[in-house]
Structure 1
């Protein structure tokens, strides 16, 4: 791997990622002008994990096939009810939703945005995209695994650290334009995905506003 050109290393890394059955994604990403911190486990049939929006709340996402569920604390739902300064009645209503899963309707505008965090293929495609002329960078280690770096645009177009041990999985990404740094781990480690029990779910009954997810 280390002797290949930068372009071939990147191609092998993308091919390995494309064939993988599961992955853990953790780190910071910028999406539509908002900054999110992710800790997600993903596979073809869905994903589960936690998302923290800068200036906003932390919430959990669970997608099983097409069904997407959101779980959040009182603060998240209070902002949904009453904006940035919710009234006492808003907080009281939000407490009923605390630590419950809310199923996000497919037609809700929030579905497209939030389900993107749980879609392994589309998320990896976006994270692995780089801009500019490729070059080989330094060798290093990520979590004890030897890596070779590929840079794009001298680094400003993104960098990718690829494993030199075993399959050439991408292990660390620095996205173009300072749009976040992400670690990719637990490649092919399967995990269970189950829809929440009926007594764990509740109907929000209103449209979930993406505008309330971040600051």
Structure 2
């Protein structure tokens, strides 16, 4: 009888111990290091996270840029793919026209619709002759002469190094902010000047690439993706191009 009475209490004790062990293990899991399985930058001070993000961007061979950028009072919407020797994509100027850019090494090409080529600086109404001339350029690639002021203005949108240097610039004291995600990728945010000087969301997976930027002073938000995804650039065929002459910017067509 005595032996039979002990068995239930032993079983109950075993169940209690097992439950306590599970609870303890669960408690340990709840305090697990959040950086396990990441690239480790989340443990670093904010300034070092930023430096690693810039270094990763500087070593990359290609990137996709998508978002809005405000420069000198003008806002542009960018949809560009860039690499070290050129880029291709679309630029939309707020209150203006949309145009496409293609740069293959030093050769820069611009393609746009009739409205773009017919417009005048200051909003002056185009004449019939302006419209007629613009129709000949519609959806054709126009090679931008290197000496034309438009070359420098437009080529920056196709220059991976220069564009990223400008986009990644922030102002003020750096602080590590919230963890979150951009798409399916876990990130940590670095803020500058309490957020007023810009923010950058840095990948916690793989290389610490910058994935989303909010520029200082509300000067635009940009997504950076497809890091190191290679693509091919080709100059347009001869029948797709038009020779505009020595200058394309005398009529104000770059605004």
Q: Which has the larger radius of gyration?
A: 2
**Aligned twin of 1:39:** 79
Count residues with an aligned counterpart: 214
Report if the CA contact (8 A) 1:102-1:202 is conserved.
Answer: yes
Alpha-carbon RMSD across the aligned residues, in angstroms, is 1.5
**Aligned twin of 2:4:** none
Unaligned ranges ≥5, structure 2: 1-40
**Aligned twin of 1:189:** 229
Give 3-state SS (helix, strand or coil) of 2:43's partner. Answer: coil
Alignment of 1:51-62 (within 5 A): 51-62=91-102
Give 3-state SS (helix, strand or coil) of 2:233's partner. Answer: coil
Shift of 1:92: 1.1
Report if the CA contact (8 A) 1:80-1:209 is conserved.
Answer: no
Shift of 1:208: 2.4
Classify 1:54/1:213 alpha carbon distance in 2 versus 1 (closer, same or farther; 3 Å): farther
Shift of 1:81: 9.2
Deviations 1:77-108 (A, max 9, x none): 01159953101221111011001000000000
| TM-score, scaled relative to structure 2 | 0.81
- The answer to whether 1:27 aligns with 2:60 is no
Aligned-partner Cα distance in 2 for 1:84–1:102: 23
Unaligned ranges ≥5, structure 1: none
Shift of 1:131: 0.3
Aligned-partner Cα distance in 2 for 1:196–1:212: 21
**Aligned twin of 1:49:** 89
Aligned-partner Cα distance in 1 for 2:168–2:64: 14
**Aligned twin of 1:213:** 254
Report if the CA contact (8 A) 1:83-1:212 is conserved.
Answer: no
Shift of 1:55: 0.7
**Aligned twin of 1:116:** 156
Of structures 1 and 2, the one with the larger relative CO (CA 8 A, separation 6+) is 1
| TM-score, scaled relative to structure 1 | 0.96
Please identify which structure carries the higher helix content.
Answer: 2
Correspondent of 1:67 among 95, 107, 123: 107
Report if the CA contact (8 A) 1:9-1:150 is conserved.
Answer: yes
Report if the CA contact (8 A) 1:152-1:159 is conserved.
Answer: yes
Classify 1:104/1:126 alpha carbon distance in 2 versus 1 (closer, same or farther; 3 Å): same
Shift of 1:36: 0.3
Deviations 1:53-80 (A, max 9, x none): 0011000000000000000000000115
Deviations 1:97-123 (A, max 9, x none): 001000000000000010000000010
Aligned-partner Cα distance in 1 for 2:145–2:122: 21
**Aligned twin of 1:4:** 44
